[in-house]
Structures are given as C-alpha cells and as structure tokens.
Structure 1
C-alpha cells in the first residue's frame, strides 16, 4: 500500500500541489499589490493549506476555537513538530494572522515573494537597528484583529519532543500588551518529520488554549513562557 501511495504522491499529489502553490502565490502578490493584502494574504492560503492535507489524506481536527475572538489581536505560539504544522495552522486556525519567519524563507521561489507582498514578518536580528525595524513592522501588522503566529522553538523538532523556547514572541506580546495564545499541534511529527521528504496519511489535532495576558508592569516574560509551554505540553 505504501508503494501505491508513493506513486500517487509523485504522479498526482506533487504536480497538483506545485500548480496550486504557484497560483496561490501569484494571486497573493497581485491582490496584495492592489492594496488588498489583508484578505489575499490569508484566505487563498487556507485553501492551499487544506489542499496539502486533503491530498495527503491527513485529517485535522480542532478544539478550543471558542477561546479566541476574531476581532482581537493575539500572539499565537505553537510547538513545531513538522512541515504540516504550517498547513494545520494556516488551514484550520480560523483567525487572520501573519507569520514571524526566518529571513532565509524569503528566497523560496513564489512562496518567498508571496510572503513578502503579504507582509509576513521576516526576523532580522543582524543588528540592533535591524531588530528595531522588525519590531516596528510587527507593530504595524498587529492591529485591527490581525494576529501573529510564532514557533518559539525556532525550528522543527528532531525527535518529537519540544525544544527550548526562545523569547522573541513573548517580547512582542509584552511590548504591545497582547495576549499570548498557546497552540498544541499533535500528530504532525508522525505525518512528516523534518528528516523525511514525503508525508504519510495521519491525523493532526490542533488545540487552541485560553489566552494568557501579560501583567500591567510588563515584567513577566518568564511567566508567559512557562505558562504557554505548560499549556502546549498538556495537550500532547
């Protein structure tokens, strides 16, 4: 059965995904260039992400949507099990957002161009002035219900266990006084871990936890990190 599945992926799934990726990227660039980036930078990507799941026979279930308000801006923090984390969040979170991502992703053909036009936030920590520019861009993006999604581990896990969290997302939450919403992704490691090239069918469960609010004095970076990590771990 696995051999037949791999043949299907090579002959059917991969060509469809390639064409869909190019079309989605082109639509995003054109729509954003015309001044409608808020819409075109999110909704076509929902279909694109779900297509990745449908074609790979990956089922996604979501719990906890009642914990978030579409009109509120959040900093979503999620564990990073594999490549299908992106499709799970994009396709099934149900809240308009932008990614905080590595500069290297800007170089990916079509995808990188679309991300740039859609005003995804590319992290640049090469100098203090570059970091300030990243923060300023984030401040412009995080308004009117627009949220931010970050993988605080910084990279996909090698063994399915959560890596150490980095502080960047939490600094943004404290700086702009935004609630942190932990997201647990469970099952994506089995579908496509970082050391494999093609997915297998599976079931991914996305859990949206209750928001965690920064304190008024803004001196609780450690608490936000600890509470969000504990919440994510509780649903694994």
Structure 2
C-alpha cells in the first residue's frame, strides 16, 4: 500500500515538476529534423515512464530491438494491462505517440504532454470522430512520427489475445510506413491481477520483424491484421515467462 501511495504521489508530482520542460519542448526550433525533435520531446516522458515502472519493483527485458527500422513506423502490440504504455515508452528506443481513448483527457496535465508527443485521441462512441482520428494518425506517420496501437481495443489481463480491429492498420497502409509487431508479456501481473496496489513483476517485450510488403503492393487490411495477430500470438507462446 505504501508503494502505491508513493507511486501516485510521484505520478502527479513529476508532471508538475516537468512543466518547465514542457514549455521548453513546445518552443523547439522548427529547423530541427522530425527525428531530432521527437527525440528531445520524448526525453522527459521516457524518464517518467521508466521511473513509474521501476517504482513498482518491476523489471523489463527487451528482445529484438535490432529489428527496429529507421524512420517512422506503426507499432502494433497486444494489450495486457495499464502498464503497457510506460513499459513500451521506457524500453523501446524509438520515440512514439499512441492512440488513446478520449477519456484520458480528463487526467490533469497528462494530455498536455500527450499532445506534444503526437498522441491521437479517439472517441470510439463517435464513428465520424474515430475516422477523423485515423486520418490524423496517418498524417502524423507521413510527417515522420511513429505511433503505437493496441488493436484489441481492451486489455486482455493475461488472457488470450483478443480479435484485432483492422481500422488502425489503415494508417500504415495509407502512410506507406513499416508495421512493427510488438509482443508484451507480464504487465498484467503488475496491476490487473491484484485487488489493491502493485506487485513487482518481470515483463518481456519482443520486437518482431517489420512488415513492409504493403508499402510496395496493394494489401488487404483484414488479412494483414490476421497475420500480425498470429505473429504476436506465436511470439507470446515463445516467451520465457509463464
């Protein structure tokens, strides 16, 4: 319980402490390259995410980091728990924004950082707005920013990988950027399997080979979605964590 109280104090305390850094990254010169600008913007959020994971007593092992290509990519990941985002932010070197449900805007200060990180807010209850969010994501990818999506749409909490919604993959198809499958195993043990607080856990992140076929050839989105899901499931089965 003490660990949990300290975690939440740090969660919001760091956000307040980081406000000067937020103002600084908002004023970065437009002459900077997209890659360099994103790297500078994500330095503080990455440190915050790493501390949030460490404060739970958890550890993370990354496999396949050498598979990351240069330039913007769409990361496609399974979704086990609430710690998926901080784990990915702190363990994957390439900066990225992510697709987030619009309700996150209600959390104090967090949306301000998400906006400069090129995160996209989506309202799943509003089809027109959801389509517009996909277009915004496509634009971000074309501009050179990477994104991560969780096409299951909800946390599996350690259960079977859910069916993938193919809509988000449209961004990579339209923007012509590589799709990188990411398999996460163990994040649900930190929070979701507990009634209260956090439990230290070991988490494994597996970065798969990028898919690039759709960049040169017309590709069926549903078939691609199925193939990526199967790849993630296969990597999950190979995980050393049980």
User: Is TM > 0.5 for Structure 1 vs Structure 2?
Assistant: yes
Equivalence map 1:46-61=2 (5 Å): 46-61=46-61
SS in 1 for 2:154: coil
* CA distance in 1: counterparts of 2:3 and 2:176, whole angstroms: 48
The answer to whether the aligner puts 1:111 opposite 2:110 as a matched pair is yes
* CA distance in 1: counterparts of 2:156 and 2:130, whole angstroms: 26
Task: Show CA shifts across 1:74-101 (max 9, x none).
Answer: 1101111111111110100111111111
Which runs of 5 or more structure 2 residues have no equivalent in the other structure? 30-36, 237-242
- Report what 1:3 is aligned to: none
Change (3 A) 1:115 1:104: same
* CA distance in 1: counterparts of 2:71 and 2:189, whole angstroms: 33
Q: Number of aligned residue pairs: give it.
A: 227
The answer to which of 162-171 and 14-23 deviates more is 14-23
How far apart are residue 184 of structure 1 and its match? 0.5
* CA distance in 2: counterparts of 1:149 and 1:194, whole angstroms: 24
* CA distance in 1: counterparts of 2:198 and 2:159, whole angstroms: 15
SS in 1 for 2:170: helix
Q: Contact between 1:17 and 1:51, CA under 8 Å: does it hold in 2?
A: no
Q: Contact between 1:85 and 1:188, CA under 8 Å: does it hold in 2?
A: yes
* Partner residue of 1:7 out of 2, 5, 8: 2
* CA distance in 2: counterparts of 1:28 and 1:223, whole angstroms: 43
SS in 2 for 1:42: helix
Which runs of 5 or more structure 1 residues have no equivalent in the other structure? 1-5
* CA distance in 1: counterparts of 2:232 and 2:200, whole angstroms: 23
Q: Contact between 1:40 and 1:118, CA under 8 Å: does it hold in 2?
A: no
- Report what 1:63 is aligned to: 63
* CA distance in 2: counterparts of 1:173 and 1:157, whole angstroms: 24
Change (3 A) 1:43 1:111: same
**Cα root mean square deviation, aligned:** 2.3
Give me the TM-score of the superposition, normalised by structure 2.
Answer: 0.83
How far apart are residue 189 of structure 1 and its match? 1.4
Q: Contact between 1:77 and 1:169, CA under 8 Å: does it hold in 2?
A: no
- Report what 1:146 is aligned to: 145
* CA distance in 2: counterparts of 1:81 and 1:207, whole angstroms: 14
How far apart are residue 219 of structure 1 and its match? 3.2
